[in-house]
Amino acid sequence: MLRRLTSTSSSWATVPLRLALGIIFIAHGSQAVFGSFGGPGWTKWISLSQLAPFPFMRPAWLWLGAAGLSELGGGALVLLGLFTRVGAFLIASVMLTAMLGVHWKNGFFLKPQAAGIEFTLALLGAALSLLISGGGKASIDQLIGGRR
């Protein structure tokens, strides 16, 4: 099982993808969890029950907490290349939920008044790429699991 999670390609192409995605999600997760970068912080974040995008997401605080921790933890895993597929799965789950539940109604493009799916789609694509390929070169996965 561990070998499957850590197996990876021998490509350098995943490195810039991991760095960019990891930084973005550590920053977003830090906003929700710690209140960094002008974010709400944990207490305010989990109390924003109107942000739960689907009616089945009750209690909202649980789902919002899971989203914030998935962004932060998934970003850290992806950045380090440690269990990259797990981190990418967490990020992909959050992005799919955000895209379909929050941004879909605003159309495709980012606009000043409403964010469309453009950015979430790009992040989802990057996460899915890492889910398929693994961490690649310069990853902890490569050190502990080897290559495919």
pLDDT number for residue 148: 52
Q: Quick: pLDDT tens for 117-127.
A: 999 999 999 99
Written as one string, the DSSP assignment of 33-79 is HH-GGG--HHHHHHT-GGG--STT--SHHHHHHHHHHHHHHHHHHHH
In a 13 Å sphere around the CA of 4, the CA atoms on its Cβ side amount to 1
pLDDT score for 125: 98
Number of structural domains the chain divides into: 1
Q: How far apart are the first and last CA of the chain?
A: 14
Per cent of the chain over pLDDT 90 is: 72
Residue 110 pLDDT class (50, 70, 90 cuts): confident
Mean pLDDT lowest among 22-31, 63-72, 77-86, 132-141: 132-141
pLDDT at 55: 86
Is 113 within 8 Å of 145 (Cβ atoms)? no
Domain of 127 in residue numbering reads as: 2-145
Predicted pLDDT of residue 147:
55
pLDDT at 127: 98
Its pTM stands at 0.92
